[in-house]
Amino acid sequence: MRAVIQRVSSASVTVEGNIIGEISQGFLILLGVETDDTQEDIDWLTGKIARLRIFSDENGLMNRSITDINGAALVVSQFTLHANTKKGNRPSYIRAARPEQAQPMYQQFMLQLGDLIKQPCQSGQFGAEMQVALVNDGPVTILIDSKNRE
């Protein structure tokens, strides 16, 4: 499971001209589910994200978590995070989970993260053509892969 976490001052997702998810300060999370992901990946990744200290404290140091600042999360499913570009110029998505596997895991990820940050996650629409708007604060962007726990 891969997540691109962006610290934002605001973010939104629009589908067919309608805003379906919107937050102010917090995380925009682009989430990619891989074929061999399990509940263990969800547990590890949601815990890591909820504890991630990348918000500034009173001294300007990145020392606060999303829960410390009462921040929100907007989670957008993005299978293209598992693109393989090794051969040729057209990416392969063979490692990305099929929708019937990915969607329940995406939903479970949002429920668990919402429990950890003590507020429901906002979301995109699984499988839809979406427009994502954000103001990246910093900018701060972090990539976390549950299969590469460094």
pLDDT of res. 88: 87
pLDDT tens-digit series, residues 52-74: 999 999 999 999 999 999 999 99
Per the DSSP assignment, residues forming a β-bridge with 3 are: 31, 144
Alpha carbons 29 and 112: distance in angstroms, whole number? 14
Integer Cα distance of 55 and 65 in angstroms:
6
**Single pTM value for the model:** 0.94
C-alpha 134/C-alpha 124 separation (Å) is: 13
Residues of the chain with pLDDT below 70 are: none
Q: How many residues does the chain have?
A: 150
The answer to whether 13 and 76 have CB atoms below 8 angstroms apart is yes
Q: What domains can be seen in the chain, in order of their start residue?
A: 2-145 (3.50.80.10)
Q: What is the pLDDT of residues 128-137, one digit of tens each?
A: 999 999 999 9
**Residues that are catalytic:** 78-80
